[in-house]
């Protein structure tokens, strides 16, 4: 099968969409399919032995966005795909679905980014609500033209259906358990990192992801003064400086002996990222608008208990009281309460970490890409209701 993947984000940008596209492309090639990636430039022109066609791009709030030019039409025409895969479609995806319809090629759209909520968060009051409504209209019109739209979690699927998006289904995300696994915790590189980050045996509260307003990282202020702990953040983004100042101030203003200041490790990939997860004692996620939450799976695969909002994708990924906790984002102190419960109880952390690792053990990218190919087959054979 020949699959053209039109994506809003790709290397060198690091985020959930890029990760998903990379892993799917690798597995498609491994399983004997041919793929081509159409993505914003600049960047590498090949990935996993598959060609990457680059579109002109622009940078918005630290995010590289593609411009839907005629190059996308030429890419689809030259590659002659059997199916077009639209990764988190918005601008590039809108042009991609149009070109696919013109070429009579079926499309599978992967809904991954809650763009309406992100737009609303960046606009005050009525302006933000109006922008959110307009964004939902754009998304609905775009997805109405796709043959199938796949959501990563049940709450997100319900939201799409509530906004009138037709022909929907569920498709989760895989996790690389060869890279992210509990055995990493005993490696010398991990132990050395722990000694550097927690010189007095501090409990490390970890976060991995983009440092941006939509991740609601201001919520971490609530746990910055938790005694005997240290916040460690992996990632980069426009909120880096402001967040660093707020968290450092919260730590320094503690009436007790202050914790160490928060550690910012920057963007990490591969083994370095896996070691960072393995050095943590528990994982904390703050964003309430996540459609899925890939980092929650990676943390669980590493054997970490997860504290995340009781909203959106985390509802599917964290089993409350079994693999971690859902905190109430509307209740001040809820995040602190659940983080404290885990911070003071190593045996509880271990039990929940083991349960989380067992829960994600079967979610390999090979298996999830096999499911995705089945969805491709559905649209190719007209079996989408």
- Contacts of residue 11, defined as CB under 8 A and 6 or more positions apart, other chains included, come to 18, 22, 39, 43, 44, 47
What's the pLDDT score for residue 122?
Answer: 64
> How far, CA to CA in Å, does 354 sit from each of 181, 197, 305?
10, 23, 8
Phi, psi of 241 (to 5 degrees): -70, -45
Look at residue 119 in the predicted model and tell me its pLDDT.
76
Q: Is residue 385 part of a domain?
A: no
Residues 161 and 194 in one domain: no
Q: Which helix (H) or strand (E) holds 107?
A: strand 107-110
Q: Are both 153 and 69 inside the same structural domain?
A: yes
Structural domains in the chain (count): 2
- Asked if residues 165 and 139 have their Cβ atoms less than 8 Å apart, the reply is yes
Report how far residue 357's alpha carbon sits from residue 182's, in angstroms, rounded to the nearest whole number: 8
SS3 call for 347: helix
Domain identity same for 128 and 267 = no
pLDDT at 375: 97
Please tell me whether residues 198 and 333 are part of one structural domain. Answer: yes
All residues at 6 or more sequence positions from 133 whose CB lies less than 8 Å from its CB, including other chains:
none
DSSP bridge pairs for 307: 284, 325
Distances from the Cα of 27 to the Cα of 30, 41, 47, 359, 366, angstroms: 5, 23, 12, 22, 6
- Specify the CATH number for the domain of residue 104: 3.40.50.2000
Residues 354 and 374 in one domain: no
Sign of torsion, CA 216 222 224 228? negative
Identify the H or E element spanning 208.
strand 203-208
Q: Does residue 153 share a domain with residue 204?
A: no
167 — alpha (psi -120 to 50), left (phi > 0) or beta? Answer: left
Measured distance CA(257)–CA(245) in Å, rounded? 19
Same domain, 159 and 75: yes
pTM value > 0.85: yes
* 125 assigned to some structural domain: yes
**Is the residue at 43 inside a domain?**
yes
pLDDT for res 257: 79
Q: Confirm whether 219 is domain-assigned.
A: yes
Q: Which range of residues forms the domain containing residue 240?
A: 182-360
Compute how many other C-beta atoms are within 10 angstroms of the C-beta atom of residue 4. 28
Identify whether the C-beta of residue 35 lies closer than 8 Å to the C-beta of residue 27. Answer: no
Angle between helices 16-30 and 294-301 (to 10 degrees): 70
Measured distance CA(86)–CA(4) in Å, rounded: 8
User: With 0-12 CB in 10 A as exposed, 13-18 as middle and 19+ as buried, what is 140?
Assistant: middle
The whole-number pLDDT of residue 156 equals 95
Burial string for 218-253 (b: 16+ CB within 10 Å, else e) reads: ebbbbbbbbeebbbbbbbbbebbeebeebbeebbee
330 and 198 inside one domain = yes
Q: Do the domain assignments include residue 288?
A: yes
pLDDT tens-digit profile, the chain (385 residues): 999 999 999 999 988 899 999 999 999 999 999 999 999 999 999 999 999 999 998 887 667 888 889 999 999 999 999 999 999 999 999 999 999 999 999 999 999 988 888 777 766 676 677 888 999 999 999 999 999 999 999 999 999 999 999 999 999 999 999 999 999 999 999 999 999 999 999 999 999 999 999 999 999 999 999 999 999 999 999 999 999 999 999 999 887 778 999 999 999 999 999 999 999 999 999 999 999 999 999 999 999 999 999 999 999 999 999 999 999 999 999 999 999 999 999 999 999 999 999 999 989 999 999 999 999 999 999 877 6
């Amino acid at each position: 099968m020949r699959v053209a993947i039109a994506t809003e984000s790709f290397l060198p940008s690091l985020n959930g969409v890029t990760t998903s596209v990379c892993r799917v492309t690798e597995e498609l090639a491994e399983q004997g399919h041919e793929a081509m990636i159409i993505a914003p430039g600049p960047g590498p022109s090949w990935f996993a032995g598959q060609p990457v066609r680059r579109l002109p791009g622009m940078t918005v709030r630290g995010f590289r966005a593609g411009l839907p030019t005629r190059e996308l039409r030429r890419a689809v025409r030259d590659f002659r795909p059997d199916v077009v895969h639209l990764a988190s479609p918005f601008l590039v995806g809108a042009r991609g679905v149009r070109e696919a319809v013109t070429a009579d090629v079926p499309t599978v759209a992967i809904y991954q980014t809650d763009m309406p909520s992100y737009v609303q968060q960046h606009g005050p009051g009525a302006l933000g609500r109006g922008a959110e409504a307009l964004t939902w209209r754009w998304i609905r019109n775009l997805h109405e033209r796709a043959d199938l739209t796949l959501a990563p979690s049940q709450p997100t699927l319900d939201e799409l259906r509530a906004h009138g998006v037709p022909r929907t289904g569920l498709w989760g995300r895989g996790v690389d358990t060869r890279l992210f696994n509990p055995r990493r915790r005993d490696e010398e590189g991990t132990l050395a990192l722990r000694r550097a980050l927690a010189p007095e045996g501090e409990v490390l509260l970890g976060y991995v992801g983009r440092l941006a307003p939509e991740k609601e990282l201001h919520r971490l202020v609530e746990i910055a003064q938790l005694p005997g702990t240290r916040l460690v953040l992996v990632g980069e983004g426009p909120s880096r400086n402001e967040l660093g100042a707020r968290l450092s101030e919260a730590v320094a203003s503690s009436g007790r002996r202050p914790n160490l200041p928060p550690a910012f490790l920057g963007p990490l990939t591969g083994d370095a990222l896996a070691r960072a997860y393995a050095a943590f004692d528990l994982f904390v996620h703050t964003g309430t608008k996540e459609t899925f939450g890939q980092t929650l799976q990676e943390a669980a695969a590493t054997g970490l208990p997860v504290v995340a909002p009781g909203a959106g994708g985390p509802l599917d990924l964290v089993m409350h009281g079994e693999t971690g906790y859902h905190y109430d984002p509307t209740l001040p102190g809820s995040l602190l309460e659940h983080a404290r419960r885990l911070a003071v109880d190593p045996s509880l952390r271990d039990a929940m970490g083991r349960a989380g690792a067992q829960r994600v053990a079967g979610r390999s990218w090979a298996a999830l890409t096999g499911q995705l190919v089945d969805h491709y087959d559905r649209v190719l054979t007209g079996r989408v209701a």
